[in-house]
Amino acid sequence: MEQTYHVYILASGRNGTLYTGVTANLSQRIWQHRNGEGSKFASKYGVHRLVHAEAFADVNEAIAREKAIKKWRRAWKLELIERANPQWLDLYDRVNG
């Protein structure tokens, strides 16, 4: 079975604080964020709603995408989220389903 890597964006709420990360196990990583075991930043600002995720077969591509998104202007990140998830729904259950 081939490994899949995910670049993800968490939000505290619609148009709220954003956090971008990369992981090999999206479901587990989001669970960690929700239970205070993710990043200190996400825990401090209540950033635990999964609003965007992209899958990659190559870990280097995933890491490069994460770094690129982190350098983006906030408006670009909001546009990326709203293109695929205009309601800012929490996608965690879809990932786990």
Could you give the domains of the chain? 5-96 (3.40.1440.10)
Name the CA radius of gyration of the chain, rounded: 13
Q: Which of 6, 21, 1 is nearest to 95 (CA)?
A: 6
Contact by Cβ (8 Å): 51, 83: no
Q: How many Å apart are CA 59 and CA 62, to the nearest integer? A: 5
**What tokens were used for 44?**
């401090």
What whole-number percentage of the chain has pLDDT above 70? 98
Comparing C-alpha atoms, which of 3, 77, 12, 69 is closest to residue 38? 12
Residue 1 has pLDDT above 90, yes or no: no
The predicted model gives 27-47 an average pLDDT of 92
Give the confidence band of 38 by pLDDT, cuts at 50, 70, 90: confident
pLDDT tens digits along 41-58: 999 999 999 999 999 999
Flag whether pLDDT at 37 surpasses 80: yes
Distance CA 80, CA 77 (A): 5
Strands 49-56 and 18-23: unpaired
What is the model's pLDDT at position 2?
84
**pLDDT, the chain, mean:** 94
